[in-house]
Amino acid sequence: MSFAVEIEQEDEGRWIAEASDLSGVMVYGQRRDEALARVQALTLRVLADRLENAEPIPKMTGIFSVVA
């Protein structure tokens, strides 16, 4: 499994990116690359937190695939 990242530009110009497979992993950025970097970093933080707390994480074959 890799995490699908949905990314789009909002009407006012900022970018929103979400890793929809992990609840609550959604970020904003002024640029597309900024939003993408932020969502990837947050995804890794969430996974690390789950590992540290012995919570299950999805089986992964890759980490990210960017959609759109």
pLDDT at 61: 67
CATH number at residue 46: 3.30.160.250
User: Per residue in 17-39, pLDDT tens?
Assistant: 999 888 889 999 999 999 999 99
The count of structural domains within the chain is 1
26-34: list long-range contacts, CB under 8 Å, 24+ apart.
Answer: 32/7
User: Per residue in 51-62, pLDDT tens?
Assistant: 899 988 877 766
pLDDT at 35: 98
Owning domain of residue 37: 3-67
Q: Tell me the pTM.
A: 0.81
pLDDT at 51: 87
Please compute Rg for the chain using Cα positions: 12
Q: How many CB atoms lie within 10 A of CB 13?
A: 8
